[in-house]
Structure 1
């Protein structure tokens, strides 16, 4: 069996990568050692930046319909409510986006949506399939993956999205450096609680001097809850393993609810704070993404989201290299960009955890202490990257996430958004001012279907009938991008980050940048 890309691990990271590659026409195979899709709720949902990624894949509407807005938090002390707090009741202004809030959704449901999206491109997850060996051939042309049943798969690239205990990472011998904080322990599980026992419009948080119980309702269910708590301990203070009866005892001890109100507890696990990162994210034709590359405290809800965003950074780069649009060196920028983001995330979530642990010791303190604007993912960028090619003195800088804004189609007048233009898996050129039009025509003529070009008509500009572009009647795009008076061309990467921002008087900068991203476009198109 052969494929372009073999993805090991079918959680949110692996599924996002598979969906992105498959829609680009890349032959992809995705495997997971689980015999059936795991039913765990686990991660509580995508942040605004991940919702933008999911929108590009065409599944954001289904995620929004299946999930729920973030809930207000009710904090208790000695079983009595002491405060309610809604961290999103009066949100601070966010960078231009269609998604102001994160979304609560059970992980199993998000994975189900992504599997269905992947199936539309003819790809299904190979369940019950375990990787046990990797061999990169001497000339570096492909990787042979050995499966536990003795079969092998030849792939041009392999990506390990197989979790913190990643067999892929271990087979590569890549160190996973960091620490496990043995004193930071929590028991977790999915529980069923009597329908009338608690208000399901609230995330309930009981804290006292020594322990805690947190219950958050799982959207789309009548009786399911995320259960997190400090563990029971034995006489020596050692945490006891989680059990259903133990969950009932914890529920009664800290909330006052009768233990029998908890009807069932499944997917029980013990969580220990790990702060670890792989020393490198690539070894030849094998790459790491998500928890296989980095793990960190859950404070701030960054785990699944960082993995989804790893995948979105990597997908287009693999596709451009595999189709001949770009040189193999483009893949070096994956580690160049995402390893510093992972390192920052480890520091950020560790700080959020420390803030939260301090907060819950005070009456009225709770998990809202983990909230911070950075957790939205919208401010994450790559200004240091070798792909950040030139930037103006003001406005968004190369490497930043490209702002979104409402606008209208110049051809039809229909309302749309700027990020809708970016959803197609291609670099996008935005041209501001009539001076930009020759560069747009040249790019379209040189690179054909490998790029998309759009003229942005500002307030007061008349768009010609049937023009390819958008009308910024409210001036929101111009306010976000701050184009110069003499015309500007913006190249947006396929992952919605700004590649270069050039004045219309410097077309050579645009040419050079497009050559970097898709200089082999004509050869690739000729091959069909």
Structure 2
């Protein structure tokens, strides 16, 4: 894709990682003209962020890639502890819960980051978008009406710009936004994707080797023939060359250098936790690693990043396509920055061995109860809570869907870029909407909800809740939604 002149678009997204691609998909399905630019010539090639938490699986399902994620990923292997070349015992590092009606995904899902990005890019192209590769941001200017992004291939004029360009964000630095944080661990680490000889190591476990020089793990990556290698260096610096990676494995495990048949990608890093002092500067937003940098422990970085995009996407859509006041965009930082701060603390505690991986890492309990868009409560839920899944009993939400629900789930009803007004166990009158922005559905009483009316936001959280429609119209107006009649 060539850019050689000033073009009018809605949003420039800088960075084609999971965050930028997820945001691109969300905006594309809302009819928002977005351009994703990536300075590299291709997608990131490594496995780095390989853990997909249950809440993020729900997000990806809503974005239309749930089947691909199921096909190409798999559950996290149980850990196998080794000592002096001998298996010692299994140790499961994760909380594994059985799926329930309300929570259909019970455990973390493993899939290398490069695969996640491939799936999201394919979805973006399916929705009519794309990525401009080999296109670097060289500068930006903003005014009251928009942002001019100066790119290595030309200039683009947009209403908004989103920085999804990673921990060393060019955009964040250009804006002068500081990152406040700390070193999580002074010991440097190496991460690599490697191939292992078939008879040298099984793919049934996540292999963990400890030693005086630091730990080393080899985790089989589902859907591939690869392992992700992670090694800590209590002394010295990582050698990321192919020879260095092979020598490292030979020195710290029972494998030989020749057992590593291929080194596909490698990198070094120092675990740190840092949070941007603010997530917005005028018409520019920070998302993903540009806004928060995590230790890899607990698998929170990629997941928090994708959920940043999920929160910001619908708000940009309402402002740009449905006339919502610009003030709605203030809620992005107000809602996401506290979540990112909490997840940074969680990742750091897990890395330091101060907390086990548990329910908190799954991110199903996160919400916005104290956020500016949360009003009311009904039944078992408070506004700001995640909207549970469950059977969609009762009449369908429109003639095109037929006379009955046909075995659908509530997540099937919520899927898409719209709000959903859900009437649970009540026959109170409901408003109608003429814009297609709100889907209306009735369902029988259900324990996860109780009884009442629940307005489910496009990102799957309860925005408003009540026993009847009193106050609903007033809530919706600042979101660019108007009710027209009662039925």
C-alpha displacement at 1:322, in angstroms? 0.5
1:106-162 deviations in whole A, cap 9, x for unaligned? 11111111111111122111000000111002xx1110000124x100000000000
- The separation in 2 between residues aligned to 1:293 and 1:371, in whole angstroms, is 23
The match for 1:104 is 110
**Do structure 1's residue 378 and structure 2's residue 360 form an aligned pair?**
no
TM-score by structure 2 length?
0.92
Which has the higher mean CA deviation after the structures are superposed, 492-501 or 87-96?
87-96
Answer yes or no: is the 8 Å Cα contact 1:324–1:521 preserved in 2: no
Match of 2:181 among 178, 188, 194: 178
Q: 2:18 aligns with which of 6, 12, 21?
A: 12
Matched, 1:497 2:457: no
Question: How far does residue 344 in structure 1 lie from its aligned partner after superposition?
Answer: 0.6
Alignment CA distance shift 1:456-1:95 (3 Å): closer
- Quote the residue 1:334 is aligned against: 332
Match of residue 423 from structure 1: 415
Q: CA deviation at 1:95?
A: 8.3
Greater Cα offset, 95-104 or 309-318? 95-104
Match runs of 1:229-268 below 5 Å? 229-231=231-233, 237-268=235-266
Q: Which residue of 1 aligns with 2:390?
A: 405
Q: Say whether 1:187 aligns with 2:190.
A: yes
**In 2, Cα distance between equivalents of 1:309 and 1:284:** 21
Q: 1:241 to 1:519 in 2, by over 3 A?
A: same
Return 5+ residue gaps in structure 1 as ranges.
357-368, 459-477, 523-528
| CA 92–59 in structure 1, closer or farther in 2 if over 3 Å, else same | closer
Once the two structures are superposed, residues 254-285 of structure 1 have per-residue CA deviations (whole angstroms, 9 ceiling, x without a partner) of: 22111111122232211201111110000010
Q: Which consecutive unaligned segments of at least 5 residues does structure 2 have?
A: 1-6, 396-402
Q: Secondary structure at the match of 1:123?
A: coil
Which structure would you say has the larger Rg? 1
**Which runs of at least 4 in structure 1 moved beyond 4 Å after TM superposition?**
87-90, 92-95
**Structure 2 vs 1, CA of residues 378 and 155 (structure 1 numbering), >3 Å: closer, same or farther?**
same
> Relative to total residues, which structure has the larger helix share, 1 or 2?
1
Q: Quick check: 56-65 or 35-44, which moved more?
A: 35-44
Q: Deviations over 1:448-483 (max 9, x none)?
A: 41211101134xxxxxxxxxxxxxxxxxxx100122
TM-score by length of 1: 0.85
Contact 1:72 1:202 in 2 (8 A): yes
2:20, 2:164 within 8 Å by CA — same for their partners in 1?
yes
Pair 1:46 & 2:41 matched: no
1:526 alignment counterpart: none
1:132 aligns with one of 116, 131, 138: 138
Residue 479 of structure 1: which of 429, 447, 453 is its match?
Answer: 447
Q: Counterpart of 1:346?
A: 344
Is the Cα contact below 8 Å between 2:394 and 2:442 reproduced in 1?
Answer: no
Secondary structure of the 1:508 match is coil
- Aligned residue for 1:141, secondary structure, equals coil
Whether the 8 Å CA contact 1:299–1:370 is kept in 2: the answer is: no
- Measured against aligned partners, the alpha-carbon deviations of 1:278-304 in whole angstroms (never above 9, x if no partner) come to 100000100010000000111100010
